[in-house]
A and B are shown apart, each in its own frame.
Chain A
Amino acid sequence: MPMSAKEIEDLILKSFPDAIIKIDDLRGDGDHYAAYVESKEFEGKTMVKQHQMVYDALEGRMGNELHALALNTSVPKKGV
């Protein structure tokens, strides 16, 4: 079963309540998404660690129900 963008967003928000999230359904098929996630939690972490944290938030769905999620993580810019 593919996941909806809303389900993905809700799971990420559960682990990163401060996050700014933007999800695009790349092909409109509910199976290929791109997600932008911005959170203070990522500060000081490597890119690998940041992505692992998002995958953890998705509770094992990545690579299973969720076939493709292009991920772009970021720390909020200071002073904005």
Chain B
Amino acid sequence: MLDNTKIKIETLINESEVMLFMKGTPAMPQCGFSAAVVGVLNHMGIDFQSTNVLQDQEVREGIKEFSNWPTIPQLYVKKEFVGGCDIIREMHENGELSNFFEEKGIKTN
């Protein structure tokens, strides 16, 4: 990964407490897995930012190396990689996700 790609990703993660790397936008997701994570975050009333990897090929490839995670979406909370679609869904279903946000001091509804 190029240094400036890494810096770009770090900046995105540092600047938002909750950052979702996804395909498309929260209003117009371009992939069912990204849509599922947006759905969970909206359902919980999380204030989050997103990066559309379809508009940035460097970030799209770089983020996979950055987190050692091969797929999009990827959710970061306070710089920590939380997981992709399966993990977010599972954590939501078993209640871990709301505990996690609470521990991190992120407001939910």
A28 contacts partner chain B, Cβ-Cβ < 8 Å? no
Q: For residue A70, which residue of chain B has the nearest CB?
A: B86
- Give chain B interface residues in 85-109, CB to chain A under 8 Å: 85-87, 90-91
How far is it, in angstroms, between the C-alpha of A64 and the C-alpha of B61 when the chains are bound?
12
- The contact size tier of chain A is 10 to 19
| Contact in complex: A52, B68 (CB < 8 Å) | yes
Interface centre among A51, A62, A64, A72 (most CB of B within 10 A): A51
Contacts between chains A and B (CB distance < 8 A), count: 31
Give per-residue flags for B73-89: 1 if the beta carbon is below 8 A from chain A beta carbons, else 0: 00000000111111100
Collect the chain B residues with CB atoms within 8 Å of residue A71's CB: 86
Collect the chain B residues with CB atoms within 8 Å of residue A70's CB: 85-86
